[in-house]
Structure 1
């Protein structure tokens, strides 16, 4: 089981699993599904390849990938038992291999996967470098990693967006999920997380290449991608 911050985050995600999809839809004004589709499209594993979706949650990205790449083997991994339980009830869930796993110590051999996707994992870990190093280890040469993550606002809109995140996210947690405290944590982790430039720097330091990103939704979310050299 997770310890330290990991134990706290594990408890939060066990608690919010029942309304996680609904809150993602409301907080992104329905854009979350489109972003998950883009993540799955960008990873582009080879035919009959092996794809790992980390922090799979209720399986949004994993299920999109399984539908796009029916010949691939898709593994959806998460440390929350309750998230995985709900993922397994969704249409198409039988096409994904679901696995409880800790992103800091992945239970896979070196170079096991042709592609790795993840959604909102990095802001919830203590050792950002270590988690990305684990992903580099299990990714095959030539494989791509695609990351959906929150992004601290910047530029001229920063004050407005920051205020909006601080007020709206906990408020929506209270109104939609009757859970203000959990979404107060999610609000703070969004604003405190690193910039795409910082994450890209870590990826480059680990040996990834062809690194890029696109910001979404007033700069509050971002999709990053990188390739492990052959």
Structure 2
């Protein structure tokens, strides 16, 4: 199945990887974070805080962990889980509570929402996989209502005194886990390289600030290898 939002170029390659890993995506996230991934997703949902009756969009929803956490926390809000992977969305729809979420296939670079129509945006591991980081964040600014918040869960390149050890661990452990847990070393070699090559939280914060976001902050997780960032579109 294809449509006019099917990714091309690098996006097509990334799309293929996520179609391939959908069946063991949750298991790998659990193993790679020593079981902390779900708690981070709940924190992302807690930080977005849409108003009662508001519209919340979870981008790169994958198997829907953040979207489902948001639907449980904000039953009066309308939660839409968006992903470009049909297989990820198929997995999300089978989960307990999935009927409380609207699932929609779309590309984060071209969101199918009107200007200033969304009260809150969440996302997990989207930005490191896009070709135009500034453009994707600009698109989120476009659809957010004034006062709306974006909350981002991302990987974080290692820094500080522990950088050599953490870098070695990411390069060694992630592909190895991909081989042992998922029998798929190549896909997780890509995810390892995209983690190490991704921008720092400070750089993402600078982009958000340049777009007009205010109240920007972040908190690192898991030896500095993951980060939750947040920002608000001013009223």
TM-score past 0.5 threshold: yes
Aligned twin of 2:43: 38
Aligned twin of 2:228: 223
Aligned twin of 1:49: 54
In structure 1, the gaps of 5 or more residues are none
CA RMSD of superposed structures (Å): 0.3
In structure 2, the gaps of 5 or more residues are 1-5
- CA-to-partner distance for each residue in 1:70-106, whole Å, 9 max, x for gaps? 0100000000000000000000000000000000000
1:174 equivalenced with 2:194 (yes/no) = no
1:105 equivalenced with 2:105 (yes/no) = no
- CA-to-partner distance for each residue in 1:26-60, whole Å, 9 max, x for gaps? 00000000000000000000011100000000000
1:24 equivalenced with 2:22 (yes/no) = no
State the number of aligned residues: 230
Residue 112 of structure 1 deviates from its aligned partner by: 1.2
Aligned twin of 2:3: none
Aligned twin of 1:163: 168
State how far apart, in whole Å, the 2-side matches of 1:193 and 1:126 are: 12
Residue 115 of structure 1 deviates from its aligned partner by: 0.3
SS of the residue 1:91 aligns to: coil
State how far apart, in whole Å, the 2-side matches of 1:228 and 1:11 are: 33
Residue 166 of structure 1 deviates from its aligned partner by: 0.2
1:122 equivalenced with 2:139 (yes/no) = no
Runs of 4+ in 1 over 2 A off after TM superposition: none
- CA-to-partner distance for each residue in 1:193-228, whole Å, 9 max, x for gaps? 000000000000000000000000000000000000
State how far apart, in whole Å, the 1-side matches of 2:205 and 2:125 are: 16
**TM-score, structure 2 normalization:** 0.98
Matches within 5 A, 1:57-72: 57-72=62-77
Q: Which residue of 194, 199, 206 maps to 2:199? A: 194
Using the TM superposition, name which of 80-89 and 106-115 deviates more.
106-115
Matches within 5 A, 1:87-98: 87-98=92-103
SS of the residue 2:162 aligns to: helix
